[in-house]
Amino acid sequence: MADEIVVGSDAKGDCRISAAPAKVTAVEVTTGDPHLFERGIREVVDETLAKLGRVRADVAVADQGALDYVLAARVEAAVRLMSPGTGAQAPKAIVPETRRRPSEQDAPRRSRLYAPGNSPRILVGIELHGADCVLVDLEDSVPPAEKAAARVLVKHLLTAIDFPNEVWVRINPLSLGGADDVREVLLARPHGVALPKAESKDDILALAKELADAERAVGAPRGSTWIMPILETGKGVLHAEEIASADPRVVAVAFGAEDYTRDVGARRTPEALLFARSMIVAAAKAAGVQASDTVYANVDDETGLAAEAKLARDLGFDGKGAIHPAQVPALHAAFTPSEKEMEEARKIVAAAEEAEARGIGAIAIGGKMIDRPVLERAKRAIKLAERLGSRRASPVDGCDGREARR
């Protein structure tokens, strides 16, 4: 068929949808076990077509174990990309019902776990690994030809899955399809949008305007979508301060070392990245927002990951990127205050409270003066620990010597 549009793939967990305009709609399904799956797949396809309006198309589904939301996304993308029949209008995007757990400006973001936005095999279950932020990517990991389908898939993913923590979308730069990304994915209300290659205050303001428009279109409160600029060029790093403070939507500033080293001609050594890292931390903290370090690319090197996470923590970062779920625990270990730090923090806060109660300006522990920023840091650590504590019971040891079943 000349006008046939093909969306999706033959990868496990995905499906391939071929769609072409037709006089009468016909759906053909191939799947591993038709007895078990065909009826359910047809239901999803029919419902999706109905939501898209009066579409007439030949739709062929080659299923590889796709979940319902993947099927729906693939069908929607294929039909919307299909050239409409003569006189007909291209169908509009499906506006799903989405419930999103609320998040806060300074929610814990120790890990931001990347996942490619057009790969169901990797996206399915991505919410289960405990990452503070799941960051679904529409930029570098999605080839240009798949961008349109990826947007739709991400929208359906965000609608179908109740993310326990935050879910973000990394869009493309606004000039390269980012505005389309915003319009589509905002329909499913991500907690925030990460902007790659941010270089100026204007970049942030332009995105904020797109977000405001999209929020109005879906009836969401203005300003309810966070922004995380990713600084990954020399210019972006030098403008860190104006970027971090550009808009109240900015809650964290992230560093992207891969592009940065390419941009400035550096090799990726801790020394070569030190200036950019420190610059970003200083700018973020000056603006009262979080700083998030770059990803560690070698999934198999746990020691290297732990060392780099510790370095980032030492420099003042609040979190770090992960390219595989297996990296998340190491990041959480690095960016969660240790028991010793917590003890210290509680002492400092107690001393401050006591000083205040007694009307003393200066805070001291054992004759050592405590500065204001130290107190602030202690309070932040306690708040972070409280938030994490409310998220899940803290690990404790015990359970020795209990009776066995038999």
Partner 1 sequence: MKNALGREIPKTIGSRSVEPYAGAFAKKRSGLKAPQPQKSCVPGENKVLPSLEAAIEAAGLKSGMTISFHHSFREGDRVINQVVDACARMGLKDLRLLPTALFGTHAKLVDHIKAGVVSRIEGSMNGPVGAYISQGGKLREPATLRSHGGRWRAIESGDVEIDVAFIAASQADAYGNANGINGRTPCGPITFCIVDAQHAKKTVVVTNDLAPYPAYPLEIQQGWVDYVVVVDEVGDPAQIASGTLEMTKSPARLRIARLAADAVVASPYFREGLSFQGGAGGVSLAATMYLAEAMEKAKIVGGFVMGGGTRVMVEMLHKGLVRTILDGQAFDPIAVASLGKDPAHVIMNPGLYANYDSRGCATYMLDAAFLGATEVDLDFNVNVNTHSDGQLLHGIGGHQDVAAGAKMTVITAPSIRGRLPVILDRVTTVTTPGEVVDVIVTERGLAVNPKRGDLKECLLAAGLPVRDLAEIKAEADGLVRPLGKPVFGDEVIAAIEWRDGTVIDVVRKVEGWQ
- The binding site for partner 1 (CB under 8 A) comprises 12-13, 31-33, 35-41, 43-44, 63-69, 122, 124-126, 128-129, 160, 324-326, 392-406
Q: Give the residue from 354, 364, 300, 365 showing the smallest Cα distance to 330.
A: 300
Rounded least distance, CB 48 to partner 1, Å: 12
Task: Map residue 238 onto helix, strand or coil.
Answer: helix
Cβ contact 337:345 at 8 Å: yes
Closer of 164 and 173 to partner 1 (Cβ)? 164
Q: Give the residue from 193, 188, 293 showing the smallest Cα distance to 250.
A: 193
Rounded least distance, CB 72 to partner 1, Å: 11
The CA-based diameter of the chain, rounded to the nearest angstrom, is 86
Closer of 369 and 396 to partner 1 (Cβ)? 396
Rounded least distance, CB 202 to partner 1, Å: 38
Measured in whole angstroms, the distance separating CA 75 from the mean position of its chain's CA atoms is: 24
Closer of 277 and 332 to partner 1 (Cβ)? 332
Q: Residue 290 forms beta bridges with which residues?
A: 252
Closer of 115 and 363 to partner 1 (Cβ)? 115
* CA 342 – CA 377 distance, rounded (Å): 11
Q: Phi and psi dihedrals of 391, rounded to 5?
A: -75, -40
Q: Phi and psi dihedrals of 78, rounded to 5?
A: -60, -45
* Token pair 């879906």: residue: 218
Hey, what are 294's tokens? 């770059």
Write the DSSP string, 273-322. HHHHHHHHHHHHHHTT-EEEEPP---TT-HHHHHHHHHHHHHHT-SEEEE
Rounded least distance, CB 40 to partner 1, Å: 3
Closer of 12 and 235 to partner 1 (Cβ)? 12
Closer of 71 and 253 to partner 1 (Cβ)? 71
Closer of 14 and 318 to partner 1 (Cβ)? 14
Beta strands in 124-273 (DSSP E): 133-137, 166-170, 192-195, 226-231, 252-255
Closer of 23 and 392 to partner 1 (Cβ)? 392
Q: Give the residue from 112, 194, 116, 127 showing the smallest Cα distance to 158.
A: 127
CA angle 267, 322, 104 (to 5 degrees): 120
Rounded least distance, CB 35 to partner 1, Å: 5
Closer of 160 and 349 to partner 1 (Cβ)? 160
Rounded least distance, CB 329 to partner 1, Å: 9
Question: Edge-to-edge strand order for the sheet containing 5-8?
Answer: 5-8, 15-21, 57-63, 26-30
Residue 136: count of CB within 10 angstroms of its CB: 29
Hey, what are 395's tokens? 């690990």
Rounded least distance, CB 164 to partner 1, Å: 10
* CA 248 – CA 245 distance, rounded (Å): 7
Rounded least distance, CB 83 to partner 1, Å: 30
Rounded least distance, CB 1 to partner 1, Å: 27
Closer of 49 and 179 to partner 1 (Cβ)? 49
Q: Is residue 362 classed exposed, middle or buried when 0-12, 13-18 and 19+ CB atoms within 10 A define those classes?
A: exposed
Rounded least distance, CB 126 to partner 1, Å: 8
